[in-house]
Amino acid sequence: MNSPILKIIFNGLHLNSDGDKPIYLQLAEVLLLSIKRGKLQTGQKLPSSRDIAVFLGINRITVSKAFEELQNQGWLESFTGRGTFVSAHIPEIKPEKLQDKSNKAQKTAGFTVEKLQYLENSYFVSTAQLHFDDGFPDPKLAPLKELYRAYRNQLTRSGLYDKFGSYGNPDGSDYYKEAISKYLNETRGLKTTSRNILSVRGTVMGVNLVCNALIHPGDIIVSGVPGWRRAENNFLHAKAQHIRIPVDEYGLVVEELKKICQKNKIRMVYITPHHHYPTTVALRIDRRLELLELAKEYSFIILEDDYDFDFHYNNRPLLPLASADENGMVIYCGSFSKSFSPAFRMGYLAAPENVIEHLTNVRVLLDRQGDHILDNAMAEIINDGTVQRYLRKSLTIYEEKRNQFCNLLNSELKSAVDFSILQGGMTIWTKFDKSINLELLAKEAYKKGLYFSDGKVHRYSNYNENGTRLGFASSSKEELEKGVEILKKLI
């Protein structure tokens, strides 16, 4: 009982019997910390469990359990008749002279972490009650009950081992791939089978996977300016050479792309032809055909991001480039995140079979497989027509919201903003008067409970429009009115 070790290790120790962590684990952590700091040396004998129990006023069994825990981890070793010792296999640790860090989580790694500018501040989570977001759908309209029911069915039907007992196909379940293939063929004019489909967790994963699998350092990727930073950052991360070309009122200026093709070997062109991101303009038919011809002539990939195909108001949506691709040049990327909710990470890539096979093999390095249960539930509500009914219903509602929002911008902010009424999509590309500091306006609006992007993400050295995307679909009509009223007062 007179062992000085008891006082060195346990003096002032308070064990919390009311906490979530058992007493024996608290005691084990104290002993482990003493070993790591050199208070207990390699090979040193510990006081007996009886002595420690008496000193701390706890049950001897609790001390024995703490010893056993550390023996299992290799920090202590016990010998019958001799007692318990700090393991002889631990290298000698010099007593720590620095300040106490026992209760502090590590903030900085002991190894180098390269800071990459394009990864800094790459996302923002808004807590504002009102929002003119990046074009998100209204989750209140989404068929959540039907999706829940389909998901529950997956958990209760037979064949549990096939579903949960082992890994499945990394490219997605057959049921999902077949449903997506049929859906794309019927709605977008594609010509696919299930072997042309790869399940991914949204568009970002699709773009990243394509870059990982098909882009090498130094490869040239061309896209329009302004563009989608998330895709551009993937190009940078793949160490590709990124060339930006202009976008006008008719979409990507394909003539500029042709000039680059004549001088350089292009590996890939990334494009959002249906509604260019962020300006929402559509790629004109002659440019679409010319782009496909250039891809064939110069053998480059077209990565077609069709992020909001389902929402086109005045007429039928323009069919994707992939629907007119006769030479296997297009990788088509789509997602249900912009149809249902960003919270649902469900998407797909459609491409020639050998491309899908290669992407699948690379996908395994990152993600052994997606969520087959969620994919199958999605396939079920596609096959029973739920998704199609939802899209028809929401299209009418979103068109009404678009009209109301445009009327509000016209009547309340006419002198401050300039925009065109979009034919589809869920945002208005809005250019503010140059006298308005958009960054300051966004900050002040956020203080009053309204979030919208300050537009910095859409500016480039050769493109400095004082504009931003104002999404309307996820807001109610009352919320749209309140948001515009906030802007009007601030401006």
Give me the CATH topology for the region 144-385. Answer: Aspartate Aminotransferase; domain 2 (3.40.640)
Model pLDDT, residue 167: 67
**Percentages helix, strand, coil for the chain, rounded to the nearest 5?**
45, 15, 40
For residues 340 and 142, is the Cβ–Cβ distance under 8 A?
Answer: yes
For residues 374-394, one letter each, b for 16 or more C-beta atoms within 10 angstroms of the residue's C-beta and e for the rest, the string is bbbbbbbbbeeebbeebbeeb
Model pLDDT, residue 447: 94
How remote is the C-alpha of 381 from its chain's centroid?
24
How far apart CA 27 and CA 47 sit, in angstroms, is: 14
β-partners of residue 220 are 241, 266
Domain with CATH 3.90.1150.10 in the chain: 130-135+389-490
Q: Which residues of the chain have pLDDT under 50?
A: none
For residues 199 and 375, is the Cβ–Cβ distance under 8 A?
Answer: yes
Packing angle between helix 386-413 and helix 477-490, nearest 10 degrees?
Answer: 30
Model pLDDT, residue 267: 98
Model pLDDT, residue 21: 86
| DSSP state at residue 324 | G
Domain with CATH 3.40.640.10 in the chain: 144-385
Per-residue model confidence as pLDDT tens digits over 224-273? 999 999 999 999 999 999 999 999 999 999 999 999 999 999 999 999 99
Task: Tell me the HSE value of 271 on the side-chain side, using a 13 A CA sphere.
Answer: 32
Q: How would CATH label the architecture of 4-86?
A: Orthogonal Bundle (1.10)
Domain with CATH 1.10.10.10 in the chain: 4-86
Reading across the β-sheet that carries 417-419, which strands appear in turn?
A: 417-419, 427-432, 467-471
Give me the CATH topology for the region 130-135+389-490. Answer: Aspartate Aminotransferase, domain 1 (3.90.1150)
7: number of Cβ within 10 Å: 11
Per-residue model confidence as pLDDT tens digits over 333-381? 998 887 777 777 889 999 999 999 999 999 999 888 778 888 988 899 9
Model pLDDT, residue 315: 73
